Amino acid sequence: MQVANQIRDILTKEFIPTKLDIIDESSKHAGHSGADPRGESHFSVLVVSNKFDGENRVNRQRLVYAALDALLKDRVHALALKTMTPAEYDAATTKTNH
């Protein structure tokens, strides 16, 4: 999980998230275009951070892509992002728990 740990370190430093989930989905893409034989090339990431307050979805994703720029150029082929503020996350998890 070297790449996942790098993603975690970068996003933790940049966004000080209240929640950060990183799921390696590379095994689902084995043999497909862009799949890296070393693995760890496809990820799904949830970042919940106060730094997203006042930013729309596109700007939030741009911020994350900018933070992970070096990894995206070298190791990460696909990154599915969900970016939320703590209030948005709390509202979403409250809805799903009722």
Taking only Cα atoms into account, the Rg of the chain, rounded to an integer number of angstroms, comes to 14
Q: Which CATH superfamily is domain 2-96 in?
A: BolA-like (3.30.300.90)
Separation of alpha carbons 77 and 17, rounded Å: 23
- CA geometry: angle 25, 90, 8, nearest 5 deg: 35
User: Could you tell me the residue ranges of all domains in the chain?
Assistant: 2-96
Q: What pTM was estimated for this model as a whole?
A: 0.83
Report whether 83 contacts 61 (CB < 8 A): yes
Average pLDDT, the chain: 87
Amino acid 77: pLDDT: 80
Which mean pLDDT values do the consecutive 10-residue runs of the chain (98 residues) have?
91 98 78 56 93 97 96 87 97 79
Instruction: Say if CB 47 and CB 12 are below 8 A apart.
Output: no
